[in-house]
């Protein structure tokens, strides 16, 4: 499928809005999570933006370490400009003054974006899903739920989980029989948190912790784990390249990553132009063609080929039995739960 044509005059509008003057020192640094996701961003966003904007950018990657960004802001030594971050980290950092505010009248596209995509300090980069993945060639019977993920008798072997409280506490409650619609009600109580950690403790001897998004697919292919939590787009990318990997959509957790501009960036204008570019529907269709995460522009979503839509987290068939991340919950409780998780994980 070809991406549909870009709206005539869109970039001229950005120029008229004051987003078009190039930086004198255009070495803006854009930081993402690396791997297939960032390669897709490079093809769909970074390279065509640089060509059109007649500016340069440098790419880097990280694993979501907010402490690193906080040090930059606190010391005034800001050597990153645009960063991809998760929703709770965006909201917490915005409240703490870590990110530049965005003027959506200036950026445009806000009326085309899905709910919660346009934030005070961030612009949604994609809709992700974390789900169970497995190798079809190595399991005679496919897992269907987090209860199966926890069942080491039925499915002997190691399990991959991200080394964070976020995601895992939700999955533990789902494995323990909590209904999708009740997960955050239960997790909002001290008893619910204890229940989630107790369920994680059952699986702990069989857990192999991942920190980088590329690891789950690599571990499945190598046979290091029998199944793993993973970002769905990574598995989709591997499957499209011929790997016999599959995703279990029921019980998946979905949410958004955001682009944010670090407070003190020396390339704020260029960064805003990049964010405006990534929200354009034609650019988003190109991105989903590279890796099937969910687009945030509704016009882009309407243009997707059905073969791509089958891998997109927000496709109707994939939303059945899925859980929407409660960002506010993690903004309010994330610090204490991550601290408890880290202490638990090191025991």
What are the tens digits of pLDDT across the range 216-260? 999 999 999 999 999 999 999 899 889 999 999 999 999 999 999
Q: Are 159 and 246 in contact (CB under 8 A)?
A: no
Q: What is the pLDDT of residues 182-196, one digit of tens each?
A: 999 999 999 999 999
Q: How is residue 338 written in tokens?
A: 């991550």
Are 338 and 213 members of one domain?
Answer: yes
Q: Is 149 a domain residue?
A: yes
User: How does strand 227-231 pair with strand 159-162?
Assistant: parallel
Is residue 2 over pLDDT 50?
no
Domain total of the chain: 2
Are 234 and 330 members of one domain?
Answer: yes
Q: What is the pLDDT of residue 15?
A: 37
Are 58 and 123 members of one domain?
Answer: yes
**Which CATH number does the domain housing residue 20 bear?**
3.40.190.10
**How far is C-alpha 153 from the chain's CA centre?**
32
Q: What is the pLDDT of residue 12?
A: 37
Are 320 and 299 members of one domain?
Answer: no
Torsion angle in degrees (nearest 10) through CA of 190, 196, 198, 202: 180
Q: What is the arithmetic mean of pLDDT over 52-76?
A: 95
Distance in angstroms (rounded) separating the CA atoms of residues 155 and 174: 18
Q: Are 149 and 227 in contact (CB under 8 A)?
A: yes
Is residue 24 over pLDDT 60?
no
Are 213 and 329 members of one domain?
Answer: yes
Q: How is residue 48 written in tokens?
A: 């065509």
**Residue 183 belongs to what H/E stretch?**
helix 183-187
Q: Is 55 a domain residue?
A: yes
Q: Is 281 a domain residue?
A: yes
Q: How is residue 208 written in tokens?
A: 């192999």
Is residue 159 over pLDDT 70?
yes
Which 3 state secondary structure label does DSSP give 343? helix
Q: Is 2 a domain residue?
A: no
With bands split at pLDDT 50, 70 and 90, how would you rate the model's confidence at 305? confident
Complete DSSP assignment for 293-337: PBPSBHHHHTT--HHHHTT-TTSHHHHTT-EE--HHHHHHHHHHH
With bands split at pLDDT 50, 70 and 90, how would you rate the model's confidence at 21? very low
| Residue 7 β-bridge partners | none
With bands split at pLDDT 50, 70 and 90, how would you rate the model's confidence at 8? very low
The boundaries of the domain holding residue 185 are: 128-254+316-345
Are 229 and 243 members of one domain?
Answer: yes
Q: What is the pLDDT of residue 182?
A: 98
Q: What is the pLDDT of residue 3?
A: 33
Which 3 state secondary structure label does DSSP give 75? helix
- Longest C-alpha distance within the chain, in Å? 64
**How far is C-alpha 127 from the chain's CA centre?**
6
Distance in angstroms (rounded) separating the CA atoms of residues 263 and 272: 13
Are 265 and 341 members of one domain?
Answer: no
Is residue 83 over pLDDT 80?
yes
Are 43 and 98 members of one domain?
Answer: yes
Is residue 211 over pLDDT 80?
yes
Is residue 1 over pLDDT 50?
no
What's the Cα-to-Cα distance from 124 to each of 6, 225, 279, 284, 327, rounded to whole Å? 20, 32, 8, 11, 13
Q: What is the arithmetic mean of pLDDT over 335-344?
A: 97
Are 199 and 323 members of one domain?
Answer: yes
Distance in angstroms (rounded) separating the CA atoms of residues 147 and 156: 13
Q: Is 94 a domain residue?
A: yes
Highest-pLDDT range among 26-35, 57-66, 168-177: 168-177
Q: What is the pLDDT of residue 229?
A: 98
- DSSP H helices in 3-138: 10-14, 35-41, 47-53, 66-75, 87-95, 104-107
With bands split at pLDDT 50, 70 and 90, how would you rate the model's confidence at 16? very low
Mean pLDDT of the residues in the chain: 91
Is residue 172 over pLDDT 50?
yes
Q: What is the arithmetic mean of pLDDT over 141-151?
A: 97
Q: Are 186 and 195 in contact (CB under 8 A)?
A: yes
Are 57 and 172 members of one domain?
Answer: no
């Amino acid at each position: 499928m070809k991406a549909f044509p870009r709206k005539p005059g869109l970039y001229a509008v950005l120029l008229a809005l004051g987003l078009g003057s190039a930086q004198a020192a255009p070495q803006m640094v854009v930081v993402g999570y690396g791997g297939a996701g960032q390669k897709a961003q490079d093809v769909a966003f970074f390279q065509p933006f640089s060509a059109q904007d007649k500016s340069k950018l440098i790419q880097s990657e990280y694993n979501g370490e907010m402490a690193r960004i906080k040090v930059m802001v606190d010391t005034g030594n800001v050597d990153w400009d645009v960063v991809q971050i998760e929703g709770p980290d965006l909201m917490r950092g915005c409240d703490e003054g870590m990110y530049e505010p965005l003027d959506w009248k200036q950026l445009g596209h806000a009326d085309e974006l899905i709910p919660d995509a346009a934030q005070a300090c961030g612009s949604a980069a994609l809709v992700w899903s974390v789900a169970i993945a497995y190798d079809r060639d190595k399991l005679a019977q496919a897992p269907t739920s987090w209860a199966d993920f926890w069942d080491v008798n039925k499915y002997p072997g190691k399990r991959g989980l991200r080394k964070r409280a976020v995601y895992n506490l939700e999955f533990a409650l789902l494995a323990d029989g909590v209904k999708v619609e009740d997960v955050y009600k239960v997790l909002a109580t001290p008893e619910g948190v204890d229940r989630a950690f107790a369920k994680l403790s059952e699986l702990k001897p069989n857990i192999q912790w991942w920190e980088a998004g590329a690891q789950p697919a690599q571990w499945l292919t190598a046979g290091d784990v029998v199944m793993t939590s993973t970002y769905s787009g990574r598995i989709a990318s591997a499957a499209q390249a011929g790997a016999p990997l599959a995703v279990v959509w029921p019980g998946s957790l979905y949410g958004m990553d955001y682009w944010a501009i670090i407070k003190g960036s020396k390339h704020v204008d260029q960064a805003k132009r990049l964010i405006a570019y990534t929200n354009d529907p034609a650019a988003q269709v190109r991105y989903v063609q590279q890796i099937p995460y969910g687009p945030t522009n509704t016009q882009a979503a309407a243009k997707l080929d059905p073969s791509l839509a089958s891998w997109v987290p927000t496709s109707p068939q994939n939303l059945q039995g899925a859980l929407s991340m409660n960002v506010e919950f993690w903004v309010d409780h994330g610090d204490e739960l991550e601290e408890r998780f880290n202490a638990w994980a090191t025991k």
